[in-house]
Chain A
């Protein structure tokens, strides 16, 4: 709803500007005035790249990073943040009101191809090239990932020598896993732990997507394993178990762009950003956007770009 209202406002504003332009053209009888209006027309052909984002802080920060990096490289860019969820902003991209969004490779692939079996970063990225509409393009992915991950406390990891998910069989079974209720059924949840890694577990459903309740439960020992997103700042106090068999779908950060806007200069600028973007960097940036720090997305993006020498 919010997005629609914004676009219709933008449309009204654009129409108004057009009318004003035409009126300005009509009102003048001086032939020397024409160069200025043709200059305006030339300017409008080089429209800025509109960077969109989903409605959550991490994605907004990423959109700001893209926009500021492009602006820094001399390419005009504006942002249109906070556009609900994937179906909403992908529709906006198809319609052309948004040119570029920071995306998550696995979820993007599943949006266009529900039956995909590719799970690894490289596999997902390769599959994406075929899955997305022809008007769009996916640029090289960053190392940074925001995906589900299984975590244990440091003491628990040390006690049983846990490094990867398969090691969980060394701990007493069944293990108590805490996380969103869907883990009970999804292939990357309890069924996958059993079939891929041979781990027997029971689920304590905590509907906060690896948020404070899940973290508290893991600290307390109410649960032994917690599903937490890899870019959640609180994850650093735990041991994240490796997933060598790619049970969990990769979610690398990728720029999704409209082909018509993807000039060589745009691509090289965004590639430079993706080359520096790590999961660790995202954790730090998410930390700044929450809690008492609570910096704006634009400010966090600016700090990271200057720290990486990309501004």
Chain B
């Protein structure tokens, strides 16, 4: 219990809110790194996932490649890329995007695929083009799953940006690595608490977003929102 008390005392200390190593700066860096990772991963994976879901082509390839990417040891990838590209934000960003693409991709194609084929057929029957079917029917109806993919990627990115601070990066991992080095377990624990709180808050926001994006028609019809991938 004394650990909790010490960690919360550390978190409450105004001295830890000022300067480049202060909590607002470190938290901001962590959120920014994670946000940029998600934007890049989404830009790569969402169009690809929608295409795969819409056409049904390339699905097994996507499953295999993204499965393979998921099995990469991320910290190892961070270090190998840093050895190739040098220190700086580039190497860990590439590694983190590689980590974030598979869940976003899976969310995108499974979201589009989850739409009832009868609804898609009905859309075509009323004369919608392929694009219209995708943007007006498949994506809106599949959006809870698409957001689910982003949610899962966001949590992985928050966790992995923490360990990526083995490199000279900012973010909340700084507290943990710097504190391990000086056996400052109070700071280490406080840093861990910050990472956990950030992860829970972000997860909660995505959960709310997933509920909000269910189209009104689906809610009114009493259709349960599609299951969310873990």
Contacts and interface: CB of A to CB of B under 8 A. Distances in A.
Interface stretch (B5-13, B83-91, B124-132): B83-91
A185 B180 CA distance: 13
Contacts of B82: 213, 216
A204 B168 contact: yes
Interface residues of B, number: 16
Nearest to A222: B87
B181 A204 contact: no
A208 interface: yes
B177 A217 contact: no
Contacts of B194: none
Interface in A151-190: 178, 180-182, 184-186
Nearest to B88: A222
A217 B86 contact: yes
B79 interface: yes
A184 B180 CA distance: 13
Given A220-B86, A222-B87, A180 B181 contact: yes
B181 A181 contact: yes
Contacts of B167: 206, 213
Mostly, the A contact residues are: mixed
Contact of B79 (A181, A184, A213, A217): A213
B94 to A, nearest CB: 16
B166 interface: yes
B182 interface: yes
Contacts of B116: none
B177 A207 contact: yes
B121 interface: no
B182 A213 contact: no
Interface in A193-233: 204-208, 212-213, 216-217, 220, 222-223
Contacts of A217: 86-87
Contact of A181 (B83, B86, B88, B178): B178
A217 B169 CA distance: 14
Nearest to A211: B79
Given A204-B168, A205-B168, A222-B88, A213 B83 contact: yes
A216 B83 contact: yes
Contacts of B166: 206-208, 213
Contacts of A205: 168, 174, 177-178, 181
Contacts of A178: 168
A217 B168 CA distance: 11
7 contacts: A181-B180, A182-B178, A204-B168, A207-B181, A213-B87, A216-B82, A217-B87
Given A181-B177, A186-B182, 8 more contacts: A180-B181, A205-B168, A205-B178, A206-B168, A207-B177, A213-B166, A216-B86, A222-B86
Interface of A: 178, 180-182, 184-186, 204-208, 212-213, 216-217, 220, 222-223
Interface of B: 79, 82-83, 86-88, 165-168, 174, 177-178, 180-182
